[in-house]
Amino acid sequence: MAVPDIGNSHFCFYNFECQDFCLLFTRITVEQMTNSTVFQFTKQNLANIVSYKIELMNQHKRKELQAVKVISNDLLTDDVHYISVEKPFDFKAGQVVAIAMHADDEPRLYSIASGINKQHLSILFDVKPDGELTPPLSLVQPNDTVYISEPFGKFLCLEQPATWIATGTGIAPFISLVESARAENIHLLHGARTLDKFFFQDYLEAQLGHNYLRFCTTESNEKTIAGRLTSYLENTENLPTDNKYYLCGSSQMVIDVREILIARGIAFDNIIAEIYF
C-alpha cells in the first residue's frame, strides 16, 4: 500500500487489492488500516478530492504567515466563534486562509466568512476541545496577534444558477459570497443540528428570502424544515438537474450529498465541494 500523507489528519492510499483509491477520514496509523475503516470511491471521485486537498496543502505551505491584530472575537453559540482580524490583502469570496497562533506553528485552514469589501477579514469556526488551534484561538482578545496566510483556494462558486449546500460552519464561504453581492441566482440550503447553529440567519434571510432553506435535525420552529437536508435532497421534486451544486462542510456531508445528487441525475462535474478535512 502506498500511503501519501495529504494533511495533518487524513491520508489517502491506493489499495492494490481492490485496485482503487481509498481515503481515510480519521487519524489512524497505517497499522490500524483495514478495509472496513476506509471509504472507497470511484477513481475519478477520489482523485478529484485528493488532488484538491493536496493542491490546497501545497498552496498554503508555500505561503508565509504574517502577523495581524485581532479586532473582535464573538461567541455565537456555546462552541462557535466569529473572529475578525485586520485585513492585510484583498481576496476573492469563497477563498480560504491558513491561520496559526504563532509564526512557526502548523496552521489550519479556514474559509473567509466576510465580504470582500468589509474592513476586516472574519472566520467562523467551532472549537474542537482536543484540537491544537481552535481552543487557544477561541480565547483571543482584541489587539492580540494571530498569524495568517494570503488567501488562496478555488471554491469561488462562479457559476449561476446554482444551489449552495452547507452544514454547520460550512456556511462560512457562502456568507462571504452573499456579503460580496455574489448571490444573484442561487438557492442556499443550510443544515444544522440545533436552531442556534444557523449563523447569520437574519442577514441571509433578508438577502435571499425564500431561496434560503434551513434544515434542523433536533429542534424545530416556523422558519426551519424539520429533518435532514439529505432527506430533502432525496425527496424534493424541485431539484434542477443542470444547475451547479456547491457543497461545503464535513467530509461525511459531502459524501452523502454527492451520492444523492448523482443518484438524482446531477452530473459529477456539476458538483463542486469544499471539504473541511
Ligand X SMILES: Cc1cc2nc3c(=O)[nH]c(=O)nc-3n(C[C@H](O)[C@H](O)[C@H](O)COP(=O)(O)OP(=O)(O)OC[C@H]3O[C@@H](n4cnc5c(N)ncnc54)[C@H](O)[C@@H]3O)c2cc1C
CB atoms within 10 A of CB 237: 4
- Chain centroid, CA 127 distance in Å: 15
8 binds ligand X (CB under 6 A): yes
* 273 contact partners, CB below 8 Å, separation of at least 6: 49, 246, 247, 248, 254, 258
Q: Which of 131, 145, 207, 262 binds ligand X (CB under 6 A)?
A: 131
**CB 104 → ligand X: shortest distance, Å?**
15
Q: Which of 11, 13, 110, 174 binds ligand X (CB under 6 A)?
A: 110
Q: In the complex, which residue's CB is closest to ligand X?
A: 131
Can you tell me the distance from the alpha carbon of 210 to that of 41, in angstroms, rounded to the nearest whole number? 35
102 binds ligand X (CB under 6 A): no
Contact 17, 7 (CB under 8 A): no
59 binds ligand X (CB under 6 A): no
Q: What are phi and psi of 181, to 5 degrees?
A: 60, 45
**CB 129 → ligand X: shortest distance, Å?**
8
Among the listed ranges 14-22, 61-69, 132-140, 214-222, the one in contact with ligand X (CB under 6 A) is 132-140
96 binds ligand X (CB under 6 A): yes
Residue with grid cell 452523502, as numbered in its chain: 256
C-alpha cell at 12: 489517502
**CB 239 → ligand X: shortest distance, Å?**
26
Q: Which of 172, 261, 271, 272 binds ligand X (CB under 6 A)?
A: 172
Can you tell me the distance from the alpha carbon of 8 to that of 27, in angstroms, rounded to the nearest whole number? 8
Q: Which of 149, 167, 169, 270 binds ligand X (CB under 6 A)?
A: 169
**CB 264 → ligand X: shortest distance, Å?**
26
Contact 124, 113 (CB under 8 A): yes
- Can you give the binding site for ligand X, defined by CB under 6 A? 8-9, 27, 56, 96, 108-111, 123-126, 128, 130-134, 169, 172, 274, 276-277
